[in-house]
Chain A
């Protein structure tokens, strides 16, 4: 089983760490590497609330997965994608503001998910672990999802990087220069659904957005190019994940909040340093 895990974790293995920690670390590292670069676009394009809503709707995906015996990652990707398209369709009708629509859709999906889950009395189900992440639940198959999905996300992001960045700066300019902005917006949403789906085990539904935002916001304080922001966001995410999971194992705390706490501490430290440097 362990042979499937990439090299950095083998070092841990030699330190006689349990399998589940290795799996959790591998999963967390994968999530951090994807969420950092994509998180830059979430910060730049102010998609934080969208990400949050998407994550809420994931609970419905989990419910459907459990009810019909579909893989939970797959169920989440399907539901989140439907959610994203429904949102785009409603946005285009321009009857209500986007934040209103997101509020309606997110909470409706969360509630329907909860109602559906309440029908699952006979299945052993720990809601808490889905909301806040639980490293004990990470399986090898989840690693395939994280690294497979991660390759897709990073590949598409790298391939479309200039177009997406230009569109972020000015949508008309991008359109004038031949970027299909409708497609590019859909692409960003689809990439976010993948990140949401693969992050649930580690950080949990309620905290996924922070994995997208906090490392990117931390990176913003250091860099002067969009590419460097993506790289540093991945690095800060990585540090937060390793610190958070280590803490989670050490103190028996839920993994999601532990990782996010670590990320927030890094953010606070760097913000302070940056503020002091600016004053000096």
Chain B
């Protein structure tokens, strides 16, 4: 197994409630997995367990030895009481050479703001700074916890585009939690739909046709996503796109069986 990080039968119980129930998830090399699910579904908890912040009540999280993870939190509360410039923030606890810092700054388009105090940055700039920090040690895996939650729609689009670009250019796997269904569906390679347990798991256009997805997000949302993916498929993937409605369910389940097996 060359899995970078995997959760095996992870369950979390808190205050008598089940937050996660028997969740198994593996991230291999060059994977791009997005966890979606309604509020309170346990997405953040799953991420925190996988990061090792919390020990699961049952099950285990296995991390490949020497794995380097770059973590992008939901947001940085840019507090004006702490005086710190972007450059200093990036190098807190990190030993990055000037060249590496420069390269990452260009990649995330933050060269212009390196000398600015972080509390004057916009939401989008802050997220790019966090992303830059995560990239500084050349991570094998990027973990992002709803990274675009506090951005406007344009900002979200730009941020996800940047993530895709990084995924394309670097030798990195990505595990992301997201709320922004419409954006995720167009960009990610693999979606895990979570509601305390894993409801469905697969390529975005298949997941949207899964009955569990439909029951979770409602028919309207599912149809919206399916329409969205339909048109998306026509642009990029003619085989799948030509008969999306006939093949949907069986495909998803096949895919799930494969993953489970």
- Give the number of chain A interface residues (Cβ < 8 Å): 22
Q: Which of B88-96, B175-183, B202-210, B215-223 contacts A (4 or more CB under 8 A)?
A: B88-96
Q: CB within 8 Å of A: which of B8-25?
A: none
Interface string of A145-169 (1 = CB under 8 A from B): 0000000000000000011011011
Chain B, interface size: which category?
20 to 34
The interface residues of chain A lying within 8 Å CB-to-CB of B145 are 172
Docked-complex contact B81 and A225, CB < 8 angstroms: no
Q: Which of A4-12, A104-112, A173-181, A236-244 contacts B (4 or more CB under 8 A)?
A: A173-181
Partner of B77, one of A170, A220, A224: A170
Partner of B81, one of A43, A176, A179: A43
B69 an interface residue at 8 Å Cβ cutoff?
yes
Partner of A224, one of B48, B69, B81, B117: B117
Docked-complex contact B88 and A170, CB < 8 angstroms: no
The interface residues of chain A lying within 8 Å CB-to-CB of B85 are 224-225
Docked-complex contact A162 and B92, CB < 8 angstroms: yes
A222 to chain B, nearest CB (A): 9
Docked-complex contact A177 and B82, CB < 8 angstroms: no
A225 to B84, CA, bound (A): 5
B73 an interface residue at 8 Å Cβ cutoff?
yes
A225 to B86, CA, bound (A): 10
Most B CB contacts (10 A, CB to CB) among A172, A175, A226 go to A172
The interface residues of chain B lying within 8 Å CB-to-CB of A207 are none
Docked-complex contact B92 and A170, CB < 8 angstroms: no
Docked-complex contact B71 and A226, CB < 8 angstroms: no
Q: CB within 8 Å of A: which of B59-84?
A: 69, 71, 73, 76-77, 79, 81-84
B51 an interface residue at 8 Å Cβ cutoff?
yes
Closest to A177 in B: B93
The interface residues of chain B lying within 8 Å CB-to-CB of A169 are 76-77, 79, 82, 84, 89, 92, 118
A229 an interface residue at 8 Å Cβ cutoff?
yes
A175 to B48, CA, bound (A): 10
Docked-complex contact A176 and B83, CB < 8 angstroms: no
The interface residues of chain B lying within 8 Å CB-to-CB of A177 are 71, 93
Docked-complex contact B76 and A170, CB < 8 angstroms: yes
Interface string of B26-54 (1 = CB under 8 A from A): 00000000000000000000001001010
The interface residues of chain B lying within 8 Å CB-to-CB of A173 are 71, 73, 76, 130, 133
Most A CB contacts (10 A, CB to CB) among B83, B89, B130, B145 go to B83
The interface residues of chain A lying within 8 Å CB-to-CB of B82 are 44, 165, 168-169, 226
The interface residues of chain B lying within 8 Å CB-to-CB of A67 are none
A225 and B83 in contact, given A162-B93, A173-B71 (Cβ under 8 angstroms):
yes
B177 to chain A, nearest CB (A): 12
Docked-complex contact B51 and A44, CB < 8 angstroms: no
A226 to B118, CA, bound (A): 12
Docked-complex contact A176 and B71, CB < 8 angstroms: yes
Most B CB contacts (10 A, CB to CB) among A176, A226, A229 go to A176
Docked-complex contact B93 and A226, CB < 8 angstroms: no
B93 to chain A, nearest CB (A): 4
The interface residues of chain A lying within 8 Å CB-to-CB of B77 are 169-170
A223 an interface residue at 8 Å Cβ cutoff?
yes
A166 to B91, CA, bound (A): 10
A170 and B73 in contact, given A224-B117, A226-B88 (Cβ under 8 angstroms):
yes
Docked-complex contact B53 and A226, CB < 8 angstroms: no
B170 to chain A, nearest CB (A): 19
A226 to B69, CA, bound (A): 26
Most A CB contacts (10 A, CB to CB) among B48, B69, B76, B92 go to B92
A220 and B51 in contact, given A165-B92, A169-B76, A176-B69 (Cβ under 8 angstroms):
no
User: What are 20 residue pairs bridging A and B, where the CB atoms are less than 8 Å apart in the complex?
Assistant: A43-B81, A44-B79, A165-B82, A165-B84, A169-B77, A169-B82, A169-B118, A172-B48, A172-B53, A173-B73, A173-B76, A173-B130, A173-B133, A177-B93, A179-B93, A224-B83, A224-B85, A224-B117, A225-B85, A226-B83
A sample of 9 more A-B contacts (CB under 8 A), given A169-B82, A173-B133, A220-B83, is A165-B92, A169-B79, A169-B89, A172-B71, A173-B130, A176-B71, A220-B81, A225-B88, A226-B88
Using CB atoms and an 8 Å cutoff, list the residues of chain A in contact with chain B: 43-44, 162-163, 165-166, 168-170, 172-173, 175-177, 179, 220, 223-226, 228-229
Using CB atoms and an 8 Å cutoff, list the residues of chain B in contact with chain A: 48, 51, 53, 69, 71, 73, 76-77, 79, 81-85, 88-89, 92-93, 117-118, 130, 133, 143, 145
